[in-house]
Structure 1
């Protein structure tokens, strides 16, 4: 191989350009200090995480206890609402039976009045003075004409006026009626 050398260019030496900063013993001690500081920092972080984890678990147990109390509270509220609902339900049933009894009584009275119209008129007339009804026929009015005297119009009894009972009000559309197989009726409000 051929080497071209120029006498004016300085020669390159094989020595390191940077001098060695530390000695071998000093670098080992510094490495031990860095590792020790790292392990200490890691231990502090672990201890901090353990403390926060313990606090979180403690808070979670407290919340679970409150949720159990809330469940018991909910059961008490549901029991009271059922009691109130049953009270209202029994009142509705009592009112319903009273209304049915009243309607049956009215229907019975109407049926009796239809079967015995004369007794009803007698009951109405007994309390009031009897009106005097004068009847005249065409034959009595003019004796010269020969017209057969028929029954007077006022003599025929008038049929009693029927009062049409107002139909009971329809069901309220805001409530839904539910009947159970054992005969109980429940009303539930529709939103």
Structure 2
């Protein structure tokens, strides 16, 4: 077989050329770069997580501090409410004791009146007293014509004073009065 060689044309070899997949020196450097980049990313992720974790812990401490302050605030409010409650309770107890004293005094007066009835003239009057109208003057007993030594005055509420409506003022001749069917009154100036 003859070969024609041209110096400008590259030579073709009969052996198949296999590309070198892995070069030992190049593959080691590539592996080192990949591992370095991976470790760098891992370190950045860990640093970011640590920063967020530190912020979360500091926020948690702040919230715990505020919750402790809230507990003391609640205790102060409870103490003040107890003070107010005790004040009201003591006032109610004081009013209750005053009412009980008044009731006891009234009951004692009623018992004394039942034991010692008021002196009567004994002219056949019953032991039950009849209501007596108050006139604001000395009362007369219904069975006798004598005036009692101590007049009995019944406390009755005064009737409310009636206010006398003043007469409406005379209409002004410079205005005309108009009353509508629904009861409203209007005045119109006359020119």
TM-score, scaled relative to structure 1: 0.54
Name the structure 1 match of 2:112. Answer: 112
Number of residue pairs matched by the alignment? 115
Deviations 1:113-140, CA, capped at 9 Å, x for gaps: 2112243889x98x5212247xxxxxxx
3-state SS of paired residue (2:60): helix
Name the structure 2 match of 1:93. Answer: 93
Compare 47-56 and 110-119 and name the one that shifted more: 110-119
CA positional deviation for 1:101: 0.4
Q: 5 Å matches for 1:148-159?
A: none
Deviations 1:130-183, CA, capped at 9 Å, x for gaps: 2247xxxxxxxxxxxxxxxxxxxxxxxxxxxxxxxxxxxxxxxxxxxxxxxxxx
Query: CA–CA distance in 1 between the matches of 2:31 and 2:78?
Result: 69
Q: Which has the higher contact order (CA 8 A, sep 6+)?
A: 1
Name the structure 2 match of 1:53. Answer: 53
> Given the alignment of the two structures, is residue 74 of structure 1 paired with residue 85 of structure 2, yes or no?
no
3-state SS of paired residue (1:117): coil
Structure 2 unmatched ranges of 5 or more? 1-17, 121-126, 133-137, 145-191
Q: 5 Å matches for 1:4-23?
A: 19-23=19-23
Greater fraction of residues in helix: 1
Deviations 1:64-117, CA, capped at 9 Å, x for gaps: 221121122111111111110110011011011011001101111111121122
Name the structure 2 match of 1:129. Answer: 140
3-state SS of paired residue (1:105): helix
The Cα RMSD (Å) is 2.6
Name the structure 2 match of 1:169. Answer: none
